[in-house]
């Protein structure tokens, strides 16, 4: 299966957005911090997600991104497709030229597998994932870690401002 970092990160970022969207627009910096994904990489992914109308950008102070639909109406396959990620498991990119310009013996097997994977991901929504206990546990841990990091930064800032000159 050729689901690369682009597709994985897009799904991860969209799930993070769905989990935190009830608090208002979510900044890419917050997603970057929680998920440890490069901010510039997220900007590229969200440009594509915005073009495919999966997210809406909110400009200005307190701005960020929100889902364009409810989490129950955003399917994982849509996210993967939006970032032009291939779910192709064939060697030939499903062109059928895998063996000297012709289909190989197992071409149809791998092509069918690709279709099954896409169908599977088409049946799972962000809302479905949000309801999973394990995902909630991970999100809670990430939120605690991010809060702890923010308080460490605040404490460091306070100490440096109190230091004698």
Q: What is the DSSP string of 130-145?
A: HT-HHHHHHHHHHHHH
Rounded CA-CA distance 86/110 in Å is 13
Per DSSP, the three-state class of 80 is: helix
Q: What pLDDT shows up at residue 107?
A: 86
Q: Which residues contact 98 (CB under 8 A, 6 or more apart)?
A: 90, 91, 92, 104, 107
Q: What pLDDT shows up at residue 43?
A: 97
Q: What pLDDT shows up at residue 4?
A: 78
Rounded CA-CA distance 129/106 in Å is 33
State pLDDT tens for residues 79-124.
999 997 677 777 777 777 877 787 888 888 988 888 899 999 999 9
Average pLDDT, the chain: 86
Q: What pLDDT shows up at residue 66?
A: 97
Judge whether residue 7 has pLDDT over 60.
yes
75 pairs with which residues across the strands? 125
Q: What pLDDT shows up at residue 154?
A: 45
The answer to whether residues 16 and 79 touch, using CB atoms and an 8 Å cutoff, is no
The answer to whether residues 126 and 18 touch, using CB atoms and an 8 Å cutoff, is yes
Q: What pLDDT shows up at residue 16?
A: 97
| Residue indicated by tokens 């969200």 | 46
Q: Structural domains in the chain? A: 5-95+106-160 (1.10.10.10)
Tell me the torsion sign for CA atoms 20, 54, 36, 159: negative
- Written as six digits, the tokens of 53 are 């109308």
State pLDDT tens for residues 120-143.
999 999 999 999 999 999 999 998
Nearest to 26, CA basis, from 129, 136, 143 = 143
Q: What pLDDT shows up at residue 131?
A: 96
Q: Which helix (H) or strand (E) holds 159?
A: helix 133-162
Judge whether residue 52 has pLDDT over 50.
yes
Reported confidence tier of residue 61, pLDDT bands at 50, 70, 90: confident
Q: What pLDDT shows up at residue 88?
A: 72
């Amino acid at each position: 299966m050729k689901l690369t970092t682009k597709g994985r990160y897009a799904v991860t970022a969209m799930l993070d957005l769905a989990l935190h969207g009830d608090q208002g627009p979510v900044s890419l910096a917050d997603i970057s911090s929680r998920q440890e994904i490069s901010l510039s990489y997220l900007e590229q992914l969200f440009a594509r997600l915005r073009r495919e109308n999966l997210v809406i950008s909110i400009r200005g102070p307190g701005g960020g991104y929100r889902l364009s639909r409810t989490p129950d109406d955003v399917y994982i396959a849509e996210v993967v497709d939006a970032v032009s990620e291939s779910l192709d498991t064939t060697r030939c990119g499903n062109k059928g030229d895998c063996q000297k310009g012709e289909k190989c013996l197992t071409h149809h097997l791998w092509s069918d597998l690709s279709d099954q994977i896409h169908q599977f991901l088409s049946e799972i929504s962000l809302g479905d994932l949000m309801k999973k206990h394990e995902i909630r546990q991970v999100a809670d841990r990430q939120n605690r870690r991010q809060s702890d990091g923010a308080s460490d930064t605040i404490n460091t800032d306070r100490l440096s401002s109190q230091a004698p000159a």
